[in-house]
Amino acid sequence: MKIAKAEVFVHSPGRNFVTLRITTDDGLVGLGDATVNGRELAVAAYLRDHLAPMLIGRDAHNIEDTWQYFYRGSYWRRGPITMTAIAAIDMALWDIKAKAANMPLYQLLGGASREGCLAYGHASGREFNEIFDSIREHQEKGYKAIRVQTAIPGLNSVYGVAASANASAGSGSGKGASSERYDYEPARRSTVPVEEEWDTRAYLNYIPSVFEAVRNEFGPDLPLLHDGHHRLTPIQAARLGKSLEPYDLFWLEDLTPAENTDAFRLIRQHTTTPLAVGEIFNTIYDYKDLFEEQLIDYVRSPVSHGGGITPLKKIFDYAAVYQIKSGVHGPTDVSPIGHAASLHLGMAIHNYGISEYMQHSSDTNDVFQPEYTFSDGLIRPGTSPGLGVSYDEKLASQFEYEPAYLPVNRLKVDGTMHDW
């Protein structure tokens, strides 16, 4: 089963996605998600110009060897662009192998360890009542765990907070729904990023009151999560973890800039709030010390940014040694192919924890036709062979790529560039 074709598509059904399609000489097709939000064309070029020609003629069955060939063989290892490109190849080859075996992918990865994968949704609001409504809306849609993000008094806009109350989760429909989603998850279409302001003191002082209000309104049972988006220093993160302990969070995510993993030692000394990190990590080496010193509780890497199914399975197995679980990144900039890949892996591993699941717009779903379903808090993969996702190239080509960027932050007090 030789690889005959490797094509790269960059289109924008709802938002920008980079998609790899590998076809074998016997006609099997595998899909890979190569999307890096705001840097799409860099991955597309890396794949199209450098990796795709080397794929032609390789045996599509030899997934481990192909992964090592691109990881070890390139000399230039690691990094989000490289690893996302390799991840897309890996995903597509697993899709093909599962189709050749006539099985949904999770069967090849060890079979189902659970009925479905617990998912959390995103609630947000500008003030308490809006947050409560958004939580209720998510509960009505079936979510059993909810991330809560809030506006901060004195700041114009805060990343991760819906611009309007009706821009939160939902199935959405038509192009209007897609553009609303841009406000919610602000990768705005523009040639330069929008600039937002940030004030850590205001954030730290305000946030405990939000979780106190949410707990008073919804009681002790609802699992609540929160994302810090890398904006704190280690001691500020420690303070946040400690101040939120009375509200029993499921996790606090990305409190400090991710490259300084030493920060977790300090944070961990001060708080029992569980910690999640890794959505911008791309190899096992990013996690090694965090695992061995038991400094985190959840691994955030999705298949698409963690190098593929092949290495992420190893990362999860390594995490299991330390009772650390998966908590995979699942925003809308991970395409349905990437979601499906993480989902199949999540079905199979023992140490599954939770997945983020922001629902895609109808334009996105029309192009990718994902088979997975969401109900009663769980996402379930379909039953068809492979990943259970397809790609309608003709429809996709109607949505042209347009540059879109995450916002950048400057400190409100003096305009200094701040961390993501």
Interface with ligand GCO by CB under 6 A: which residues?
37, 160, 185, 227, 229, 279, 329, 331, 333, 356, 406
Alpha helix ranges (H) inside 293-335: 309-321
Q: Which of 106, 120, 143, 159 is catalytic?
A: 159
**Residue 227 sits in the site that holds Mg ion (CB under 5 A):** yes
Calculated CA dihedral for residues 94, 380, 161, 167, nearest 10 degrees: 110
If you search the block for the tokens 């990437």, which residue do you land on? 338
* Kind of pairing between the strands at 188-189 and 146-150: unpaired
Point out the catalytic residue in the list 229, 230, 305, 360: 229
- Measured from the CB of residue 256, what is the shortest distance to ligand GCO in angstroms? 14
- What residue 336 binds from Mg ion, ligand GCO, none (CB within 5 to 8 A, per partner kind)? none
Partner residues linked to 276 by β-bridges = 253, 298
User: Is 229 a known active-site residue?
Assistant: yes
Report in angstroms how near the CB of residue 379 gets to Mg ion at its nearest. Answer: 18
Q: 196 or 356, CB closer to ligand GCO?
A: 356
Across-strand partners of 327?
A: 354
DSSP structural state of residue 294? T
Return the one option of ligand GCO, Mg ion, none that residue 356 interacts with (CB less than 5 to 8 A, by type): ligand GCO
Going by DSSP bridges, is the β-strand pair 146-150/224-227 parallel, antiparallel, or unpaired?
A: parallel
Cβ 420 to ligand GCO, closest distance in Å?
Answer: 8
Tokens of 165: 């109350």
The Cα 310–Cα 106 span in angstroms is 13
Verify binding: residue 40, Mg ion, rule CB under 5 A: no
How far is residue 304's CA from residue 80's CA, in Å, rounded to a whole number?
Answer: 10
List, in sequence order, every residue forming a beta bridge with 411; answer none if it has no partner.
198
Q: Which is nearer to ligand GCO, 227 or 363 (CB)?
A: 227
**Rounded-to-integer distance, Cα 117 and Cα 348, Å:** 10
Q: Which does 130 bind (CB under 5 to 8 A by kind): Mg ion, ligand GCO, none?
A: none
The count of chain residues that interact with Mg ion, using the rule CB under 5 A, is 1
DSSP-based three-state secondary structure for 135:
helix
User: CB of residue 33 vs ligand GCO: minimum separation in angstroms?
Assistant: 13
Q: Is 356 in the site for Mg ion (CB under 5 A)?
A: no
The residue whose Cβ lies closest to Mg ion is: 227
Question: Hey, what are 13's tokens?
Answer: 């059904």
Q: Give the shortest CB-102-to-ligand GCO separation in angstroms.
A: 34
What whole-number distance in Å separates Cα of residue 315 and Cα of residue 326?
9
Q: Please confirm, yes or no, whether 401 is among the known catalytic residues.
A: no
Helices (H), 158-283: 174-184, 200-218, 234-243, 263-270
Q: Using CB under 5 A, which of the segments 6-14, 59-67, 227-235, 366-374 binds Mg ion?
A: 227-235
Residue 90, contacted partner among Mg ion, ligand GCO, none, CB below 5-8 A by kind: none
Considering CB distances under 5 to 8 angstroms, the limit depending on partner class, which of Mg ion, ligand GCO, none binds residue 331?
ligand GCO
Question: What does the binding site for Mg ion look like in residue numbers (CB under 5 A)?
Answer: 227
Q: Give catalytic residues, as residue numbers.
A: 159, 229
